[in-house]
A and B are shown apart, each in its own frame.
Chain A
Amino acid sequence: QVQLQQSGPGLVKPSQTLSLTCAISGDSVSSNSATWNWIRQSPSRGLEWLGRTYYRSKWYDDYAVSVKGRIIINPDTSKNQFSLQLNSVTPEDTAVYYCARRGAAGTFDFWGQGTLVTVSS
């Protein structure tokens, strides 16, 4: 059974960087069939896919237009985890952030527990 465990701070100041980590058990970040995603949820924007990292003979990443230029999703093969960095945050980035696996069927079949991140001074 795949499990995703999120960690990271719940409060970030405006203009600073939001950083979260998702530790994977039961699968590998280097899997050739899965992709590793970050999704956020807020009352104003609903559920919003932010981006993904995945390995297909080499590493790829792919980001939503809404956050492109501010976001980096990185794999860490030594710890079997992946991370989210979102730069220059504003209060509009306040949301619950989830990591999720997109499995071979194409759906988000396993999710982390969610982290409420508040952007406030």
Chain B
Amino acid sequence: EIVLTQSPGTLSLSPGERPTLSCRASQSVSSSSLAWYQQKPGQAPRLLIYGASSRATGIPDRFSGSGSGTDFTLTISRLEPEDFAVYYCQQYGSSPYTFGQGTKLEIK
């Protein structure tokens, strides 16, 4: 099973800032099969990024993903108020499909 470790656990920032979220895998993720999800309280996770760097339908271009192998990054170019949420990475290259423990983006 691939273990995903996200850092930091919590990020306290202000609107307009540029956060970088990290996801490290315990072994190489095949074919860059790495996704990022956003989750707000009381809602299901929403797919943001797939294939490590491709934005899902309807996702603003301020969200970008990068990385390969075992190290992946999600960057938000300029934080909007609606971006404060919890972000999860997930690998779908091999079963069981696993998630990171999440990074909470909170308003400073």
Contact = CB atoms under 8 A, between A and B. Distances in A.
Interface of A: 46-49, 62, 64-65, 98, 100, 102, 105-109, 111-114
A26 B35 CA distance: 23
A42 B100 CA distance: 13
A49 B47 CA distance: 15
19 contacts: A46-B102, A48-B99, A49-B96, A49-B98, A49-B99, A62-B95, A65-B96, A98-B44, A102-B92, A105-B51, A106-B50, A107-B35, A107-B47, A107-B50, A107-B90, A107-B92, A108-B37, A108-B45, A112-B44
Contacts of B99: 46-49
* Residue of B44, B50, B51, B56 with most chain A CB atoms under a 10 A cut-off: B44
Interface size class of B (residues with CB under 8 A): 20 to 34
Interface string B19-42: 000000000000001010100000
Nearest to A109: B47
Nearest to B54: A105
Contacts of A111: 44-46
Contacts of B56: 107, 109
Contacts of A98: 44
B88 A105 contact: no
B66 interface: no
